[in-house]
Every structure is written in C-alpha cells, then in structure tokens.
Amino acid sequence: MKKSLLTLMALALLGTPAALAAPLKLQNVPVTVETSPKLYVLNDAGIARAFPSAAGRPEAVFLTEDRKVTMAFDWREAKLAPAGVAALTNEFVAGLRGQVPNLKTIRSAAVQVGGHPWGQIIFTTPGQGDDRRFEMLLTSAGGRLLVVTVASNVKDYSRNENVVRNFASSLRVN
C-alpha cells in the first residue's frame, strides 16, 4: 500500500464518523456544518498526526468516507471584514500564480453560502498518476480570515463530489 493511504487509514482510526445529517458547531472555529455518515471528523490527535507542524495545523478536519478528500478549516489571525472578501480572493489568486509551481488551472468566484460572502478559488497542479485538485473557500468569521481547503486527486474528488458539495453548501458562519 502507498504510504499516504496507510497514513489516511491510520488517521481515520483517530476520527469518528460524523452524525447523520445533523448540524455540528465546530469547537475551535465559529462555523456550523451539516454532517453526513459519509464523513469522518478527525480528533485532535488525528489532526496533529496529519499536520505535524503546529504553525500550519488546521483547527478542524473532515475526511470523506473513502479517506480520499480532506476538508480542513484554518481560522487565521489575519483581520478580515466581510466587505474585504472579494479583494482578498483576488490577492490569493495573484499570489498562487506566482508561488505554486506548475499551476495547471485556476479559477475564482465570489459566492454566497448561508447568506455569507465567500471567495472560492479552485486550482489544479500536476500529481503522480492524477492531477491534484485544491479548492479554497475564504471568508470573514469573527473579524478574522477563515480558510476552508478541500484537497484531493481529481478522480477522487469526482467520486466524492456530491458529499463535498453538500458539506460546503452547509457552511454557516456563527
């Protein structure tokens, strides 16, 4: 088995299946999401193992049932007002173009989720056997920047797209 698959399997043991379509208020982030039995929630030990550096460790992480797609919540100290979401999204896109080697595709949009403004950035990079797909959702939460990163291979995302879309569309900033 590949090392990454073994790591994700071990991480799943450190998490629990999410409840059946019930609202879940995240502990360390001012967000509520609709959970699904097709998602796992990593506990603190699982997050620490998946993200060993405390500097880049997200506050909450969900995995799809097949453990192929991750959804990580990073509530940053950077100040951000709701009116600044669109401008920040444009800045992120410009930064990605300059900092991500071999960027294959990138697109961005302003979206509304739960009546709240979000910036959405989707990009792909070359990967071994399949391209890597990343989606970043940016918004203001409690006056700070909240980033939700959805990461997977392109094929794995396609297989899990309905679960991920339902999860993303359920995001509610408290």
Question: Does residue 8 fall inside a structural domain?
Answer: no
Question: Does residue 166 fall inside a structural domain?
Answer: yes
More confidently predicted of 80 and 35:
80
Question: Does residue 33 fall inside a structural domain?
Answer: yes
Give the Cα separation of 132 and 114 in Å (integer): 28
Nearest to residue 149, comparing CAs of 161, 134, 164, 139?
A: 134
| Residue 21: per-residue pLDDT | 58
Question: Does residue 28 fall inside a structural domain?
Answer: yes
Q: pTM value?
A: 0.86
Give the Cα separation of 11 and 161 in Å (integer): 21
Structural domain that includes position 88: 23-173
Quick: pLDDT tens for 102-153: 899 999 999 999 889 999 999 999 998 999 999 999 999 999 999 999 999 9
- Domain CATH for 157: 3.40.1000.10
Rounded to a whole number of angstroms, the distance between the first and last alpha carbons of the chain is 41
Question: Does residue 68 fall inside a structural domain?
Answer: yes
Give the mean model confidence (pLDDT) for residues 7-12.
Answer: 46
Across all residues in the chain, what is the average pLDDT?
88
Question: Does residue 16 fall inside a structural domain?
Answer: no
Which band of pLDDT confidence, cut at 50, 70 and 90, is reported for residue 8? very low
Query: Is the pLDDT assigned to residue 12 strictly greater than 70?
Result: no
List phi, psi (to 5°) of 43.
Answer: -85, 180
The number of domains in the chain is 1
Nearest to residue 151, comparing CAs of 34, 50, 30?
A: 50
Give the Cα separation of 154 and 137 in Å (integer): 18
Question: Does residue 15 fall inside a structural domain?
Answer: no
| Residue 10: per-residue pLDDT | 45
Give the mean model confidence (pLDDT) for residues 141-170.
Answer: 96
| Residue 27: per-residue pLDDT | 86
Question: Does residue 63 fall inside a structural domain?
Answer: yes
| Residue 2: per-residue pLDDT | 41
